[in-house]
């Protein structure tokens, strides 16, 4: 099964850039789970976000993320795992889980 691991953290922590020690940890995570990781990226701050809606056929573009929250989506991994427990195991190894949290979402399959 595939799961999306969504990393939520208070993005203020990254306002002055990324901590090199933490970057190393992310690299190590990537190496450990290289085979399982199908994709993933860090996201720029929510200050760079734009939200688009279409209502009655009209596009409405607004600044900022769709919701103001204490913690923001800051990055994600798409992983292949045997089951939820294995995905949880991986999520727990993401450095961001220590200060923020990681949401584990199974990928929908359409048959």
Partner 1 sequence: MSELECVFREEWGRILSALIQALGDFDLAEEVLQDAFSSAVVEWASGAPRNPRAWLYATAKHTAIDIIRRRSNFAEKQVELMIREECRTPKVIEIEEDSIVPDERLRLIFTCCHPALPAEAQVALTLRTLCGLTTEEIARAFLLPTATIAQRLVRAKTKIRKAGIPYRVPSAPEVSERLSVVMAVVYLVFNEGYSAALGDTLVRHELCAEAIRMARLLHTLLPEPESEVDALLALMLLHDSRRNARENADGELVLLADQDRACWNRPQIDEGCALVQSVFQRGRIGPYAIEAAIAALHAGAAHAEETDWRQISALYGRLFALHRSPVVALNHAAAMSMAEGPEAALPLVDALKSSLEDYHLWHATRADLLRRLGRKTEAVRAYQRALELAQNEVERRFLSRRLAELNV
> Which parts of this chain interact with partner 1 (CB under 8 A)?
1, 3, 81-85, 87-89, 104, 106
Closer to partner 1 by Cβ: residue 1 or 23:
1
Cα distance between residue 30 and residue 12, in whole Å: 24
Closer to partner 1 by Cβ: residue 64 or 106:
106
- Rg of the chain in Å (alpha carbons): 16
Q: In angstroms, what is the minimal distance from the CB of 100 to partner 1?
A: 19
Q: In angstroms, what is the minimal distance from the CB of 19 to partner 1?
A: 27
Alpha-helical (H) ranges within the chain are 20-32, 84-93
Cα distance between residue 20 and residue 34, in whole Å: 20
Which of 1, 12, 22, 29 has the alpha carbon at shortest distance from 86?
1
Q: In angstroms, what is the minimal distance from the CB of 1 to partner 1?
A: 5
Closer to partner 1 by Cβ: residue 72 or 76:
76
């Amino acid at each position: 099964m595939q799961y999306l691991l969504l990393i939520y953290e208070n993005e203020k922590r990254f306002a002055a850039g990324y901590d090199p020690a933490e970057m190393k940890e992310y690299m190590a995570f990537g190496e450990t789970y290289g085979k399982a990781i199908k994709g993933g990226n860090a996201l720029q701050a929510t200050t760079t976000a734009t939200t688009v809606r279409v209502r009655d056929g009209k596009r409405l573009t607004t600044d900022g993320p769709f919701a103001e929250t204490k913690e923001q989506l800051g990055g994600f991994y798409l992983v292949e795992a045997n089951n939820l427990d294995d995905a949880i195991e991986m999520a727990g190894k993401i450095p961001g889980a220590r200060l923020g949290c990681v949401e584990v979402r199974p990928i929908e399959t359409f048959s």
